[in-house]
Structure 1
Amino acid sequence: MRPLPLPHAGCALFFDFDGTLADLAPTPDSVRVADGLPDLLARLAAPLAGAVAIVSGRPIGELDAHLQPLRLPAAGVHGAERRGADGQWRRLAVPDLAPALAVLQVLCERQPALRLERKPGALALHYRQAPQLEDECLTAMGVAMGRVEGMALQRGKMVVELKPRHAGKGHAVRAFLGERPFRHRRPWFFGDDVTDESAFEAVLALGGVAVKVGDGDTLAPHRLADPAALHGWLRAAVAALAP
């Protein structure tokens, strides 16, 4: 892995949330944000003219709640919903997910250690509390996907998700880069999971910087050990960008 440099004023920075900016937790609801992180991100965005965004599998509303009072440009549900720096929202059209939901609810009633998360336009099945049920979750998700049109499976760390086929973090990053203040900037992406690999691919194709947070195989040429290491890099970046 290459040493990770510090950014310059012509960069655009994109961050995953869970496992990247915040440590993973047993459930999505139990994630805790480190003290001072929202202020640190705000101080980072200022010298970059606001070219800092969160690109996550979480809904944007949850990201805002964790980072309040900060409201950054954000892509949620792997890009199925996106809020630009201008405050405008863009959402992909999705089918009625009720037939897929019914399949997954039957499994969760039989296996109460599983957690079914309903998102805007997506369904996520978490098995962190029961990793031995991974194959059963994948089978059920395959059946659920067959009940609706235009959806695809997205795997992550102890989770499998049904999301819009055309949603992806790489697509979200490219959409941001077509808008102010991200346009004509060198993109950087920080992520920890297989869901972030499409964003790594996108920024590398554009001559940008990809940073893997944590362990695992990756396209990213750079790596940080954990969210705490990323927070240290953020503080160094703020100092480097200070006028």
Structure 2
Amino acid sequence: MTPDFPAPRTDWCLFLDFDGTLVEIAESPDAVRAERHLAATLTAISARLGGAVAIVSGRPIAEVERHLDHEGFPAAGLHGLEMRMRAGQPISRVDVSAPDKGIRDALASFAAGRPGLLFEDKGIALALHYRARPDLADACRDAVKDAVARHGNLQVLEGKMVFEVKPAAADKGRAVRRFMDEAPFAGRVPVFAGDDVTDEDGFRAAAAFGGFGIKIGAGETAARWRIGTVAEFLRWLVAMPGRLDRAARETAAP
């Protein structure tokens, strides 16, 4: 069912989370599967929005592109610690210190001793996944807090079945604001779609620029609109190129 959102407009720009928004969440980061049409759909939407479509993810940009089988979209990775401002540009990285070896070793050791946990080293950020062991949520929370207790420059993000540790210098809201300062996003109405707590900064940033958020799934949110599932959201995206074409014709009509 198509959600009762405002009709797509040609002056929009889109910011799209990846896991839980464009792909279903899986038991491990490598297990996700993107729909075969997804990259083509995003390309078609981008062409109608003047290139103003960006992926904004907690994953590294290269990892998102591997799953999409497409390179070059504007993107923010690692919650904005990596940025590609325009299609085809190189990826830039925020100059901050990554979590030190002591934190890495502590979390890797904690996960290794508990079957079902997954420690993910993203370089400049770390993640402790407990999707296969929800009974260990509290223990994971305590382990992460203990590991970073004496490191004031780090932020702990509690997402869906995951705790992430990253430098405090970036979040998805800041990434949106950086995009909105430059073409092709500047002057457009931002629409941010996401499913998790880490997307709330993006929803608030979109609203600050006169746009809105779309929350996929349940939970309290700052987003103005909500849709129940990834599948429903993807159907909405698939229909968007045609709806944007109609909007362009109506705007051009005398």
TM-score (norm 1): 0.95
2:169 alignment counterpart: 166
2:19 alignment counterpart: 18
Deviation per residue, 1:155-179 (Å, 9 max, x gap): 1000001011021000001101111
Aligned-residue identity in percent: 43
Gaps of 5+ in 2: 249-254
- Kindly report which structure 2 residues correspond to 1:55-134, keeping only aligned pairs within 5 A, or say none: 55-85=56-86, 87-92=89-94, 93-134=96-137
Alignment equivalent of 2:196, drawn from 187, 193, 198: 193
- Confirm or deny: 8 A CA contact 1:74 1:84 kept in the other structure: yes
Q: Find the aligned partners of 1:58 and 1:128 in 2 and give their Cα distance.
A: 17
**Number of residue pairs the alignment of both structures matches:** 242
Alpha-carbon shift at residue 3 of structure 1 (Å): 2.9
Alpha-carbon shift at residue 109 of structure 1 (Å): 2.2
Alpha-carbon shift at residue 74 of structure 1 (Å): 0.6
Alpha-carbon shift at residue 149 of structure 1 (Å): 4.8
- Confirm or deny: 8 A CA contact 2:157 2:164 kept in the other structure: yes
Q: Find the aligned partners of 1:120 and 1:7 in 2 and give their Cα distance.
A: 38
- Confirm or deny: 8 A CA contact 1:176 1:182 kept in the other structure: yes
Q: Find the aligned partners of 2:108 and 2:64 in 1 and give their Cα distance.
A: 26
Deviation per residue, 1:38-87 (Å, 9 max, x gap): 10000000011100000001110111101123421111111111111061
Q: Which amino acid aligns with 1:47?
A: R
Q: Which amino acid aligns with 1:238?
A: P
Alpha-carbon shift at residue 100 of structure 1 (Å): 0.5
Q: Find the aligned partners of 2:69 and 2:112 in 1 and give their Cα distance.
A: 35
Give the root-mean-square deviation of aligned CA atoms: 1.5
- Confirm or deny: 8 A CA contact 2:99 2:167 kept in the other structure: no
Give the secondary-structure state (helix, strand or coil) at the position aligned to 1:39: helix
2:41 alignment counterpart: 40
Alpha-carbon shift at residue 194 of structure 1 (Å): 0.5
Alpha-carbon shift at residue 147 of structure 1 (Å): 4.9
Q: Find the aligned partners of 2:36 and 2:86 in 1 and give their Cα distance.
A: 25
Q: Find the aligned partners of 1:62 and 1:71 in 2 and give their Cα distance.
A: 12
Q: Find the aligned partners of 2:110 and 2:227 in 1 and give their Cα distance.
A: 37
Structure 1, 39-48 or 142-151: larger mean CA deviation: 142-151
Deviation per residue, 1:91-148 (Å, 9 max, x gap): 1212452110111122112212110001130000000010111111111111221354
- Confirm or deny: 8 A CA contact 1:14 1:54 kept in the other structure: yes
Alignment equivalent of 2:220, drawn from 207, 217, 233: 217
Q: Which amino acid aligns with 2:208?
A: A
1:183 alignment counterpart: 186
- Confirm or deny: 8 A CA contact 1:59 1:120 kept in the other structure: no
TM-score (norm 2): 0.91
Q: Find the aligned partners of 1:64 and 1:204 in 2 and give their Cα distance.
A: 27
2:158 alignment counterpart: 155
